[in-house]
Amino acid sequence: MIYQETIEYLYHQLPVFERIGDSAYKAGLDRVMDMDRILNHPHQNYKTIHVAGTNGKGSTSHMLAAVLQAAGYKTGLYTSPHLKDFRERIRVNGEMITEQYVVDFVERYTSEFESLHPSFFELTMSMAFDYFAAQQVEIAVIEVGLGGRLDSTNIITPILSVITNISFDHQQFLGDTLEKIAAEKAGIMKPNVPVVIGEADGSVKNIFIQHASQVKSPLFFAQKMIQVSRGNDSDQFYTKELGNITMGLKGLYQEKNLATVLSSILLLNKQGISLPLQAIQKGIEHVTGLTGLQGRWQILQKNPLLICDTGHNEAGIRYVMQQLSQLPCRQLHIVFGMVNDKDHRKILPLLPQNALYYFTQAAIPRALPADELQQQAFLIGLKGTAFPSVQEAIQAAKSAAKEGDVIFVGGSSYVVAEAL
C-alpha cells in the first residue's frame, strides 16, 4: 500500500466527522481503550498536556508545543482538523509524521482494529500516540477533538489539563446550554492533575469549581494567575510575571489565549518542566515557524489585503468580525462558507451589512450549499453571489477588489483549507 492509497482508506473506509458530520461521531472510550491495549499503551511512555475548550485550543496547543520545543524538549503535538495535509495532525518538534509511518501503521494494525470499527479520529489518535512513543518524545501536547469527557483523547493522564473557554458549538453532542457544554469539557479533569481555565465566569465558572472539587483536581483561573496587557504595538504584550512578550499570532482573540498559555507555563515550571524566559519568548513569537500552525488571522496577500481565519462558531466569528471592523478599508469583500450543522441563524447576523459577499462551499459532504447560504443571508440583508467552489469565489473577490480594499476568507476551517 502506498501513502495516497492509505489516505484514501482512512477517508473512505472509516467514518470521518469532518466530512460527513454526526454519523461519524462515536462517543465513548471503549473502542479506543481496546486499541490502546493492542498498541501497549504508548502514551504512558511520555508526559502529556491535555487541551480542551470551544475556541482557541488549537492556538493554545501550538503555543505550548512551541515553548516546550524552544526549551529543548522533544515535543509531540496532536491536533485536528488539518488544513492541507493529513500529516499536520501529528508532529514532533514541528515536523509532520512521515508518509512511511502512516502507511506502515495502517498496514500493521488494520486487521486488528477492523473488528473494533474505529472512527477516523480514533485511528488517527492511536497512530499519533504510537508515533510519539516511537520517536521517544519527552512530552506531547494533545488537543481534544470534540468535547472532553467522552473524547477519544481522554484516555491519557496528563501532567496538566487546560480548558480555554466555553461557548456554543456542537450542541447536538455536548448539550444545548453553556453549563452542559462546560460539564462535558470539565470531563478531562483528573485527580491530582492541575487544570488551567482560560476564561470562565458565572454559572460556567461554578461548574468548573464543582467538578474540580469532586475529582480533586487543583484548579487555576488564568484571569487570576496572570495579567496580560497590550503594548503600543499590536504584537507586543506585557506581563508583570514574565515581562515583555512578542506575539507571533495576529488575531485580537490571541490575547486571551496568551494568558492561558502563560498560566500553563507557570504551572509547568512548578512541576519541574524547566521553561526559561528566553524559550517562552521564542516559542510564542515564532510559533508558526516552530509548529507549522496556519489559518489564524493569516495574511495570504498584501495588495489587496487578503486574510483568512478558521473561526467558525458564534464566538469565533464575533472576534473575527470585531478585528475586521478595525482595519482601514475602502470596501470589504467576504468569501464565506459554512458547514451544515452550524447554526447560521446565529452566525449570519454577526456579519457586516456593508460588505460584498461571495458565498461558497468547501468540497466536503458537510458543506452548506452556497445558494442556500446566499438565500439565508439575503433574508437579513447580506448581499452577494453564490459560487460553487472556494477558488471561484476567491478569484471573483480578487477581480472585484480595488486598491485599499480588504478580502476576508472564512466561516469554516474547510473553506480556509481550500484557500490555503
CATH numbers and ranges of domains, the chain = 3-291 (3.40.1190.10), 298-419 (3.90.190.20)
Cβ within 8 Å of residue 211, ≥6 positions away: 183, 186, 187, 189, 217
Residues contacting residue 108 through CB under 8 Å, at least 6 positions apart: none
pLDDT for 19 beyond 80: no
305 confidence band (pLDDT: 50, 70, 90) = very high
Residue 163, pLDDT above cutoff 60: yes
Residues with Cβ within 8 Å of 273's Cβ and at least 6 positions away in sequence, in order, are 47, 68, 73, 139, 159
CA–CA dist 349, 366 (Å, integer) = 22
> Mean of the pLDDT values across residues 180-199?
94
Beta-ladder partners of 335 = 358, 409
Over the stretch 39-85, which tens digit does the pLDDT of each residue have?
999 999 999 999 999 889 999 999 999 999 999 999 999 999 899 99
In degrees and rounded to multiples of 5, residue 247 shows phi and psi of -90, 125
Question: pLDDT band at 174, cuts 50/70/90?
Answer: low
Using CA atoms, how far apart are residues 227 and 275, in angstroms rounded to an integer? Answer: 19
Residue 172 has pLDDT above 70, yes or no: no
Q: 402 or 234: which carries more pLDDT confidence?
A: 402
If pLDDT is split at 50, 70 and 90, which confidence band does 109 have? very high
CA-based angle 221:178:158, to the nearest 5? 45
Mean pLDDT of 136-158: 94
Question: Per-residue pLDDT averaged across 126-142, rounded?
Answer: 98
Q: How far apart are CA 49 and CA 143, in angstroms?
A: 8
Residue 313 confidence class, pLDDT cut points 50, 70, 90: confident
pLDDT of residue 115: 87
Q: Which pLDDT belongs to residue 20?
A: 42
What's the grid cell of residue 241? 510575571
| Parallel/antiparallel/unpaired status of strands 228-230 and 384-386 | unpaired
pLDDT band at 232 (very low <50, low <70, confident <90, very high): confident
pLDDT higher than 90, residue 337: yes
Query: Could you tell me if 371 and 386 are in contact, meaning their C-beta atoms sit under 8 angstroms apart?
Result: yes
In a 10 Å sphere around its CB, with 0-12 CB exposed, 13-18 middle and 19+ buried, how is residue 407 labelled? buried
Q: Could you tell me the pLDDT band of residue 187, with boundaries at 50, 70 and 90?
A: very high
Contacts of 196 (CB under 8 A, 6+ apart): 160, 161, 162, 163, 220, 221, 222, 225, 260, 263, 264, 267
Q: What is the pLDDT of residue 18?
A: 47
The reported pLDDT for the residue numbered 23 is 44
Taking only the tens place, the pLDDT of each residue in 364-419 is: 888 999 999 999 999 999 999 999 999 999 999 999 999 999 999 999 999 999 99
pLDDT at 177: 83
**Residues 6+ positions from 375 with CB-CB distance below 8 Å:** none
pLDDT at 157: 97
Would the CA dihedral through 252, 255, 261, 264 be positive or negative? negative
Q: Over 90: is that where the pLDDT of 240 sits?
A: no
For the full predicted model, state whether its pTM sits above 0.85.
Answer: yes
**By percentage, how much of the chain surpasses pLDDT 70?**
94
pLDDT at 324 over 60: yes
Residue 30 has pLDDT above 50, yes or no: yes
How far from chain centre, in Å, is Cα 250?
A: 15
Quick one: pLDDT band at residue 110, thresholds 50, 70, 90?
A: confident
User: Mean of the per-residue pLDDT values for the chain?
Assistant: 91
**pLDDT recorded at residue 24:** 43
List CB contacts of 331: < 8 A, sequence separation 6 or more.
355, 356, 401, 402, 404, 405, 406
